[in-house]
Amino acid sequence: MSMDVIIYHNPECGTSRNALAMIRNAGIEPHIVEYLKTPPARPLLIALIARAGLTPRQLLRDKGAPFEALGLADAGLADDALIDAMMAHPILINRPLVVSPLGVKLCRPSEAVLDLLPTAQRGAFAKEDGEQVIDASGTRVG
């Protein structure tokens, strides 16, 4: 199985940093797309949403600006309008979105990335906040 993994990453986001660290803890160096600098093209974003089994609203980051300023809480907005907003303001794309040979997933919480990795964790892992996710034998905790 190919080990190609792509993470749509925001280095300022702790959840995204934790997911990236778990990918690396599995011995995989992913292709990192800093989507705020290089947002996906509209057709790719639509394809990622579909492959993840999400709706555009489910991928929409609803915290802070510009979500509120753009009135995106309006449940009557069409999917195309939400995608337009994400294209104009990539910060509205929730993260991290991970693509692997096993599928596409919005990895919130970050340990959701474990379901997408084709190789096991190589050792213990704790999130930045200290929460133990993987024990010393490479087994998921909890």
Extents of the domains making up the chain: 6-134
pLDDT at 132: 97
**Average pLDDT of the residues in 12-24:** 97
Residue whose entry in the numeric block shows the structure tokens 């992913």: 30
Q: State yes or no: is 13 an active-site residue.
A: yes
Listed ranges 12-16, 64-68, 117-121; the one with the highest mean pLDDT = 12-16
pLDDT at 100: 97
Q: Does the pLDDT value for residue 1 go beyond 70? A: no
Q: Does the pLDDT value for residue 59 go beyond 90? A: yes
Give me the percent of the chain exceeding a pLDDT of 70: 99
118 Rama class: left (phi>0) / alpha (psi -120 to 50) / beta: alpha
42 to each of 45, 48, 113, how far by Cα in Å? 5, 10, 24
pLDDT at 142: 80
Catalytic pick among 7, 13, 48, 104: 13
Distance in angstroms (rounded) separating the CA atoms of residues 84 and 92: 10
Q: Does the pLDDT value for residue 3 go beyond 90? A: no
Q: Is the pTM of this model over 0.85?
A: yes
The DSSP symbol for 126 reads: E
pLDDT mean across residues, the chain = 95
pLDDT at 64: 80
| Residue closest to 32 by CA, chosen among 46, 20, 44 | 20
Residue 129, judged by CB atoms within 10 A of its CB (0-12, 13-18, 19+), counts as exposed
Q: Does the pLDDT value for residue 2 go beyond 80? A: no
CATH H-level superfamily of 6-134 = Glutaredoxin (3.40.30.10)
pLDDT higher at 2 or 79: 79
Distance in angstroms (rounded) separating the CA atoms of residues 40 and 123: 33
Distance in angstroms (rounded) separating the CA atoms of residues 110 and 58: 16
Q: Which two tokens stand for residue 33?
A: 């797309």
pLDDT at 65: 80
**Average pLDDT of the residues in 115-139:** 95
Tell me phi and psi for residue 126, to 5 degrees. Answer: -125, 140
